[in-house]
Every structure is written in structure tokens, then in C-alpha cells.
Structure 1
Amino acid sequence: MSDVPDIVVEALKSAEARGFALSCEEMVGRLLATLASAVPSGGRVLELGTGAGVGAAWLVSGLGQRSDVTVLTLERDPELAAAAREFAWPDWLEVRVADAEKELPRLGRFDLVFADAEGGKWSGLDLTVSALQPSGILVVDDMDLSRYQSAEHRASVTRVRDAILSDPRLVAADLPVGSGIMVAARRRD
């Protein structure tokens, strides 16, 4: 882990200590850091599903010392959000306890969205796409059908993948790596 940013290592240790096994995997994290580094000045980043803070840590590592971008991460579980707040986040990152589907219509638009929670990905995906700025980037993970045994979960993944690939507002790539990653850009209006 020598090339993994310190803040990510700290978040991974916290997740492990709490028995939280659903953290953002390294491949997705590196992609998030790369995309975050390109967010324009004054930009906004949204993470749906803070979990133990690993995804947020990758986003922060990509932004480095920039203070011209804000990051909002939503977590429905108050205990997980409280644990994530324990980190020494930059003051431009906010961890908020919220249901993504209820909150999304009030949040405005974002340059980068990482949808890693039930709300905003498995349900309410249209709200997430609507929250993208023109030219905004959407990252959705856990799209590899082989990860799921139940027919219900497989149907949900297929529905999300099809929705992203067929949405006329998006140009999307289905990347069959890791947990299965989809990356989409919102077309300019």
C-alpha cells in the first residue's frame, strides 16, 4: 500500500476496524481520484453513500490541496456518517446524513458524481443523472452481474446498466473491470 494516499489508508483501517466490507475498491478509487483532479475551479463533487469514508478519501486525494472545489458526501446511516466525520477532512468536504433520493432534487448540479448507494443508483438514478452538470461525469460501480447470485439483484444491475447506456443525456462506457464500473458524461444541453 505504499502508493496509496495516507488518507485512504486511514479510511481503510477505519472501515476494517468497524467491519465495514463495502468500501470502494482501489481500482474505482484511483479512477475517482483521477476524475476529481480534473474538476474545474468552483466545481462540485457528490458522493452517494459515504460508507466508512474510503471513496471520499480517494476524491480528496485527487483534489490535493485545492480549496476551489466542494465535496458533499451523503450517507443514510447516521452511525456510518458519524464514523466518517472522525477524519480530518478539509473544510470543503461535508459529510451529511441524508436519504439521497429525498435530497437530490434540492442539491443543484455537480461536475462529478459517484453513485455508490442504493438511493441514487438502484433507485432514483434519474435524479442522479439530472444532478449532473452539462459535461459532468457519473461513476457507478458494482455493475458486474457475476457478483450477484439473486435474480432480483441481477435484474437491478441490468436495469441500471441499461438505463445509463440508453439515456440520451449521457455518453457512457461500461468497463468490465473490478466490481464492474460504468462511467458516463452528461452531454452539453
Structure 2
Amino acid sequence: MQPIPPSVTEAIARAEAVAFAYSSEPEAGRLLAALSAAVPAGGRILELGTGTGVGTAWIRHGLGERTDVEVVTVEFDPATAAVAAEAGWPAWVTLHIGDAEELLPGLGTFDLIFADAPAGKWTGLDLTIAALAPRGVLLVDDMDLGRYTEPEQVASVETVRRTLLTDSRLVAAELPTGSGFIIACRSER
């Protein structure tokens, strides 16, 4: 297995220093890095749920030395966003602070979206799907029903799964690994 990149290790250390417990797992990060590497020149990536920057670091790792992709990341909590900003992201990475559901309509369309926050995944999923460019890819984690014990949590996951797997605009697949992933591609239909 490939080692965890230094920028990701630094982001994990920032998370541990502030007891932030919701960072992307390595399985999600590696998948996110691979999907980021496939974004076309001039493309755009959106991360919903910056946290302390672990997912953003995986995206940067996937892009390598590329500077032709715009990365937009959204974090609801200002204190958490301040920790993520300590990474000193390059100019082509923009960190927005606010509610993803409120921000999504004004952010434009994206070639890759990683929905890893309550807003834009558990609520407002329709806005996230609408922000996918034609042939854009949506990665959603935390879809393993076995990870949840509360009935309302199970119902939320089932709603997201059903939406992604049945929406006529999407071609989707479940990956039963890590926290459970669904990858969906916006068709041109």
C-alpha cells in the first residue's frame, strides 16, 4: 500500500491537535486522489466539508504538480476552517466558510465533487447533484448502513443511497469498502 503523503500527515496532525474526529479515512483519501488526478485540464473540484484539510490534502496529492484545476472547499465552522487554512494552500485552492446549502447555488459547476459534510449530502443533495458538470463525478462516503445504529441515521443513509442510485441524471456504483462509497457520474442525457 502506498504511504500517506506528507501533506495528508500534516493535516491529520492538525486534526489530532484540535481533537477533530471527522477527517477522511485513508480509503476515501486514496480514492479522492485518484479521481482528482482524472479531472480534465481547466477543471473544477468541490469539497463539501473541509474539516482540518485532510481531504483537501488528498486532492492536492492527486493533482500532483498541476495548477490547471480550481479547487473549492467549503467548511461550516470558522474555527475548523482556520485550522485548515494553516496549511497555506496554493492560490488555486479557495476555502469558503459557510453553509454548503446556502453557498452551492452560487459556486458554479464542478467536474468532481466530494460530499463529506451534512449540508450537501444528508440535506441539500439535490443542490450537489445540480452542481455536477456533464460527465462530472460525485463521491459520497459514509454509506455503509452497518455503521449506524440510530433509526434516523439509517433512514438518512437510505435516502441518500436511493437518490444517488435511482436519479436518472446519474450513473452510479456502490463500493463496499472503507466507510462505504457511492460514486456517481452525471450523464449527458
User: C-alpha separation between the residues in 1 aligned to 2:27 and 2:188?
Assistant: 28
The one-letter code matched in structure 1 to 2:125 is: L
TM-score normalised per structure 2: 0.98
Aligned residue number for residue 26 of structure 1 = 26
User: C-alpha separation between the residues in 1 aligned to 2:98 and 2:19?
Assistant: 22
1:120-145 alpha-carbon deviations (Å, 9 max, x no partner) = 00000010000000000000000111
1:37-79 alpha-carbon deviations (Å, 9 max, x no partner) = 0111110000000011100000010001111001000001000
Aligned residue number for residue 98 of structure 2 = 98
Q: After the TM superposition, which residues 53-64 of structure 1 pair with which residues of structure 2 at under 5 Å, given as runs?
A: 53-64=53-64
The alpha-carbon deviation at position 89 of structure 1 amounts to: 1.4
Aligned residue number for residue 39 of structure 2 = 39
User: C-alpha separation between the residues in 2 aligned to 1:145 and 1:3?
Assistant: 29
The one-letter code matched in structure 1 to 2:179 is: S
The one-letter code matched in structure 2 to 1:51 is: G
Is 2:120 the counterpart of 1:134? no
TM-score normalised per structure 1: 0.98
Aligned residue number for residue 164 of structure 2 = 164
Q: Structure 1 stretches of 5 or more lacking a match?
A: none
The alpha-carbon deviation at position 2 of structure 1 amounts to: 7.2
Aligned residue number for residue 80 of structure 1 = 80
- Residue aligned with 1:159, SS: helix
Amino-acid identity (%):
57
Q: For this pair of structures, how many residues does the alignment match?
A: 189
Q: Structure 2 stretches of 5 or more lacking a match?
A: none
Moved over 4 A (4+): none
RMSD in angstroms over aligned alpha carbons?
A: 1.1
User: C-alpha separation between the residues in 2 aligned to 1:133 and 1:5?
Assistant: 29
